[in-house]
Structure 1
């Protein structure tokens, strides 16, 4: 019994990580992923934040809008999709919607647009 418990305690963290359908990245890796041209970028900040600067090609879907889920539902669920906000909080909440809607390849920019800009990555206005 002790051996079984010890084994479970060793493999449980691995199983939990494997169950997470979201890939978490920082700005450097996100830039490489976006460069392939195959990844959709969804910015969940407000339209005013988006106008002040955003990642080139990003689609702005404000997580605070009443139709956020409906707008996300219109996206291609099979296309790799990078999701971000300013610092990672709102986009972390948004991940639940992407998972609920059945997106198969979601990437989260953990350091958000703030981290992207601070890393000197290109910003479009």
Structure 2
């Protein structure tokens, strides 16, 4: 009769208490460097909005690390500049209850459900660039062709949803 194979050997550092103690700090430092572009590249906003990837025992608040000197990704900085300058509009296609629970400053509530019914956004300029966001990105993608069908000439559906935009540091209402 054959006995089961022995378990694989543990890595040499697994029992070293010093290594185990330093692991969370190393993970935190690495994440912070990546998030702030310290290694020559930046993490996308979607990755920054998911702090759970950090070692669970780090004891450091990822949102605090992110707000301590990081800047918006280039495409979000451009969007914010365009909207503040009046050269673009930001449509939030979530439903009213979601919008009232928190929203991006300068955004206009344009629920996807109303777009599906053919209701055009009130006081919107069809010639201006339109940025669209929702909770997770899916409804923004659905709203894009509806808005284009209503005559909006330039529509950009943001990949980031509200939580990612909020966590990236966009100003809130």
- Distance in 1 between residues matched to 2:100 and 2:151, nearest whole Å: 29
What residue number does 2:68 align with? none
Deviation of the 1:122 alpha carbon:
0.7
Q: Is the 8 A contact 2:94 2:110 kept in 1?
A: yes
Q: Is the 8 A contact 1:26 1:110 kept in 2?
A: no
What residue number does 1:96 align with? 145
What residue number does 2:131 align with? 82
In the TM superposition, 1:105-124 aligns within 5 A as 105-124=154-173
- Segments of 5+ residues of structure 2 without an aligned counterpart are 1-73
What residue number does 1:14 align with? none
Q: Is the 8 A contact 1:42 1:59 kept in 2?
A: yes
In the TM superposition, 1:1-125 aligns within 5 A as 26-65=75-114, 68-72=117-121, 75-124=124-173
Deviation of the 1:80 alpha carbon:
1.4
- Distance in 1 between residues matched to 2:164 and 2:115, nearest whole Å: 27
More strand by share: 1
The total of aligned residue pairs comes to 100
Relative distance call for 1:123 and 1:43 in structure 2 (3 A) is same
Q: RMSD over aligned Cα, in angstroms?
A: 2.3
More helix by share: 1
Relative distance call for 1:50 and 1:93 in structure 2 (3 A) is same
- Segments of 5+ residues of structure 1 without an aligned counterpart are 1-24
Deviation digits for residues 53-95 of structure 1 (CA, Å, limit 9, x no counterpart): 1121221121124764222386321121111101110010011
Could you tell me the TM-score, scaled by structure 2's length?
0.50
Deviation digits for residues 86-123 of structure 1 (CA, Å, limit 9, x no counterpart): 11100100111012122112122211222110101111
- Distance in 2 between residues matched to 1:66 and 1:118, nearest whole Å: 27
